[in-house]
Structure 1
Amino acid sequence: MESKFMSVYPGAGTVALRRIMDAMSLFYEKRSAAHRRKHFKVIQCPRPGLCFVFHGMILSACEHFAIDFLTKQGCEICEDCDLLLQIGSRLPQNYITRNSRLRGKWGPEENSSYLTFQLNRGKSFWMQVLLTEECFFISVNGYHFGKYIHRMPYRWLEAVDVLGEVSDIVIDTYHVSEYPIRLTHSLPRPIPHLYDTAVTKFLQDGENLESEWMVLSSLANMSSKKNFYKSCLPLPFYGKLLEDDVLVEGRALRIEGRVRLMPQRFSIAFQKGQEIWPQPIVSFYFSPCFLRSRHDKVGKAIITRRAYLNGEWVNCTVSRLNTSLRPGGAFVIVIVCRDSYYELFVNNKSLFHFKYQMKPDCVDIVNIRGDIKLWEVVIEGSKMIKKQQRARTAMERAISAWKRIEDPQLKI
């Protein structure tokens, strides 16, 4: 066991456990489990905030590999030992599975995620698994991948195994206060600000949306074949609002993209902070779900909007709305900051209003993820934004009144 400080996480004390996997043995005859498995004992009693970071190289002929979180009963070498969680990476199918095994029986497998498949043969990988009271959080290459609700008490965790066609495995364990750890490529990118555009003109004095507001990118042009393979922004998208470009009345966020051909859902969140855990404050959350029964009309999505304040989701509304969002179709979503509410437009049509649960200028991160291709995210508004004047306190009002009484000629 070796203690060290990792340079990529300044100030974080870690415990590293190293093993070089015998890759050549994977091509020989199947050996007994006792020769294939090596254990990494979990230091101390596991508690929420315990984080595992796995780093290694995926072999060029890799078909699959797995990360096992074993119980005390699972620390004996056997094929049917108990597993709190198995993360299985299946490269030919391009998905990552999550499952548990108790008394030799597997539970229902989970394999869905907002995040596209991030693992490639012949390249290194970086995975982070965080233990919390309710679930495991899993991130791949610096992006949150998904969570796995505990099916057994997490206190049963005793050891961790890495099996499969990977090499140069390093496992780091330490405790964290937030998740995930951001790599360089997954850091938030600044959202550009466009001034005095057609959208801005409508926000200031437009009343008839169809005649006075023309979105900058024509939907007909966006739907053409030449734009079908247009380069897109990576998802999940984390956009950072700069100090001078925060959301205030008179500004809007414009999002252009395309819905994937077989979508399930996507989401847009205005939040304070970029972490996934603990849950950050969310001023506005918008998520269309396209899963439908055979009798539902195409384009009629289940729309969820809500906010997260004081440790709970508030003002939650779920309704089935007829939108112009279609599988494979381009879209322009504009979220406008009004005096007391957000107004959301989809392809020039106002969809709904959402009353402020907190001041929008507190938002510093825009989080977009799900089954879409994202082309552009920008802030639009005039350079002349009226700053809200701070309300005077009772003491300031009393001093002002006293001065007027003492000197009637004084103008306050």
Structure 2
Amino acid sequence: MNRLPPVFNPSVPFSTQIEKGLLEGMIITVCGRVLPDADRFHVNLKHNSDVVLHVNPRYKWFWTDCGYVVHNTCQKGTWGYEEHKSETPFPRGLKFALQILITQDSYKISANGKPFSEYKHRMPFQNVDSICIGGMVELNLVALQHLAPHHAAPLGSFMIPYKSIIHGGLQPDQVIIIIQGFVNPQTDRMGFSLRHKTGIAFDYSARFDENEIVCNSCEDGKWGEEERPCNMPFKRGNFFEVTICTRRHHYEVYVNGGLNYTYRHRFTKLEEIDVLEVTGDVQLSFVQP
């Protein structure tokens, strides 16, 4: 299976090879922060010197300072017709999460958990051999995964509580969870749990009634000591994106492009952790796995 292991906090400009090209159902995730004085940055999918897909947020138009986003393709040194989106979901100075889903007909691009644009293929996506990112941006995470088609759905179409099987269990140094959705305005709590046969290896709970995040583990019905990150990254009535990365000694939880918490493994048999559960008053639009 084609997969690019997650790259954490790479320097910019950033470039990495895709050994076997892109496949339908793959998703590219880019998390970072736009610099406060940025004029532009770009995410390019390339084939040799050609730019198969150019995603280019810009922050200065000749008649306005409002941001916008350009999509385009460059073949044999010649740029094609620019496709513009006149409102940018990547404000200067703020964190972002950009995802590009490869489908048979187009690239479907989302920002911060919300669908943003669609770009019809002008060149074969199978020929893409590298990802290149440059401009006035800081990067937290770049990853490529191959998703099952049914994991993308209209907002709210997932049943809550939601459970998904993690086939083969967890593996170190992989992005294993990507969750996008919407926090309902009246919600008190929502949570994400990684489970095994006898307990919960990792429970990440957003408690809006307490304005806190609580992390814990449960074994044979007994909860351990709570860990509480110092900030609440979710807001009622807002979209969100959560990425949970499994490292050899801990989990890393990214929310809307920024690292929120690192939780050291208490249950260390990662291959036995085989269920993801999402609970609470939340609407889901995308889940991996």
Q: Which structure exhibits the higher relative contact order, with contacts defined as CA atoms closer than 8 Å and separated by 6 or more residues?
A: 2
Query: Which structure has the greater CA radius of gyration?
Result: 1
The structure with the largest strand share of the pair is 2
The structure with the largest helix share of the pair is 1
**TM-score of the superposed pair, with normalisation by structure 1:** 0.36
